[in-house]
């Protein structure tokens, strides 16, 4: 799920970035990064140090810790891979004093179904999959709506973040309890999608709200699917609880797999992808519990110059090794935040990545955000 915006889909290719490591000049070298994808993938030490400095700058701009705090006298937060140790009201890497409080930095809105969900091409709300147990209609659920729940914190520091404005949410005082959120579910709400930012730092809040909302819906004889869209960095036990709710309700867990190469991933997000891949593999083992509608969905944003067919092929092989039927959606990129000088994804780039994913063995691959794709050779 993405906050809608009218970002430009046109790019002036006269702007050429230069890799300060190998000297290559290209529209697909981000000027602020200053390092090309090839150098990052090789693990160029100087390039990674340069990237780390950029991440530090972006976080200082919002008053966030440059790296996960590790105070030896602090209280351990084990909600995510960053495992911050915090004292008093000091901020964790996610920007919260201590993750997982009963009151969360969160806002929500209703979207008519079918909506712009990463999984809309395979989910119950978009297709009627699982009808009649998990869907009201044997097709798209026109007349019903999704409750989109946006959490104002994240365990990553993505340089291309489309929803970067959430970093101000924690300062706005917009907080709510799980019960407040449940009150927003009405008789025409057939699914809830928790996204953000990312739901991970405040998953205890999301899980409590989801459980109560489902119980209320069941008592009223209504369908209410629970979905999560996440970077997958949560503690494995929390990942299992997410899957429990999604499986039982007809929803899905949507993993945003940013990149396969760890140096590329760290360059783009500031954080390792190890926990994400481990959790994805863990949840894939449960697909047989309810294969329809698909309980696990993957997506990847095709960032020009960095997330190319090599990255997609490796991710697709990983996914296919778990289950070839897992739906995989490739998303077109548009310039935003600190990667605002990159072009949008080209049709040629998307087509190469699509072929790579299919050749890797995946049975269900789709390209999203088609309106952003442009025509050129990059």
Say what the pLDDT of residue 332 is.
97
H-type alpha helices, 306-370: 309-322, 347-359
Assess if residue 241 is contained within a domain: yes
User: pLDDT tens for residues 224-270?
Assistant: 999 999 999 999 999 999 999 999 999 999 999 999 999 999 999 99
The CA distance from 198 to 185, in Å, is 21
Residue 25 phi/psi, 5-degree rounding, is: -115, 130
Among candidates 79, 99, 80, 81, which has minimal Cα distance to 89?
Answer: 99
Is 127 part of a structural domain of the chain?
yes
With respect to residue 18, please indicate whether it lies within any of the assigned structural domains: no
Please indicate, yes or no, if residue 47 is contained in any of the structural domains: no
Residue 98 lies in a domain: no
- Rounded Cα–Cα distance for residues 28 and 17 (Å): 7
For the chain, residues with pLDDT lower than 70 are 1-15, 99-101, 173, 377-378
- Does residue 74 form part of some domain? no
Look up residue 43 and give its DSSP letter.
T
Q: How many CA atoms lie within 13 A of 247 on its CB side?
A: 15
Length of the chain: 378
Domain assignment present for 179: yes
**pLDDT tens per residue, range 116-130:** 899 999 999 999 999
pLDDT in the model for residue 378 = 57
Containing H/E element for 246? helix 236-249
At residue 100, the pLDDT reads 53
Q: What is the CATH number of the domain that holds 324?
A: 3.20.20.70
The answer to whether 144 and 189 have CB atoms below 8 angstroms apart is: yes
Answer yes or no: is 263 within a domain: yes
Q: How many domains does the chain have?
A: 1
* pLDDT of the residue at 89: 87
- Span between the terminal Cα atoms of the chain, in Å: 27
Provide the residue range defining the domain that includes 178: 103-372
């Amino acid at each position: 799920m993405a906050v809608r915006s009218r970002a430009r889909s046109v790019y002036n290719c006269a702007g050429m970035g230069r890799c300060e490591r190998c000297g290559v000049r290209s529209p697909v070298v981000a000027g602020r990064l200053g390092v090309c994808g090839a150098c990052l993938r090789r693990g160029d030490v100087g390039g990674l140090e340069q990237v780390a400095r950029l991440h530090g700058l972006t976080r200082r701009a919002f008053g966030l810790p440059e790296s996960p705090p590790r105070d030896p006298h602090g209280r351990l937060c084990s909600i995510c891979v960053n495992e911050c140790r915090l004292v008093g009201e000091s901020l964790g890497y996610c920007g919260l004093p201590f993750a997982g409080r009963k009151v969360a930095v969160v806002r929500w809105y209703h979207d008519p179904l079918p909506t712009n969900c990463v999984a809309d091409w395979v989910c119950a709300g978009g297709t009627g999959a699982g009808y009649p147990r998990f869907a009201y209609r044997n097709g798209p659920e026109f007349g019903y709506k999704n409750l989109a729940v946006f959490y104002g914190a994240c365990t990553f520091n993505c340089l291309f973040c489309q929803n970067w404005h959430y970093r101000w949410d924690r300062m706005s005082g917009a907080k709510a309890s799980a019960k407040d959120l449940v009150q927003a579910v009405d008789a025409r709400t057939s699914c809830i999608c928790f996204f953000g930012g990312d739901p991970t730092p405040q998953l205890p809040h999301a899980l409590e709200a989801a459980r109560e909302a489902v119980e209320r819906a069941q008592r009223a004889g209504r369908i209410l699917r629970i979905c999560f869209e996440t970077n997958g960095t949560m503690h494995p036990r929390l990942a299992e609880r997410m899957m429990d709710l999604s499986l039982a309700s007809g929803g899905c867990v949507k993993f945003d797999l940013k990149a396969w190469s760890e140096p590329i991933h760290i360059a783009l997000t500031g954080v390792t992808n190890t926990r994400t891949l481990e959790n994805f593999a863990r949840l894939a083992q449960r697909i047989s519990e309810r294969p329809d509608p698909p309980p696990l969905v993957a997506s990847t944003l095709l960032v020009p110059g960095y997330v190319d067919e090599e990255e997609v092929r490796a991710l697709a092989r990983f996914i296919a090794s778990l289950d070839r039927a897992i739906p995989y959606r490739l998303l077109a990129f548009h310039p935003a935040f600190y990667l605002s000088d990159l072009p949008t994804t080209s049709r040629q780039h998307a087509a190469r990545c699509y072929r790579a994913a299919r050749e890797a063995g995946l049975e269900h691959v789709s390209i999203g955000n088609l309106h952003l794709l442009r025509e050129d050779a990059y």
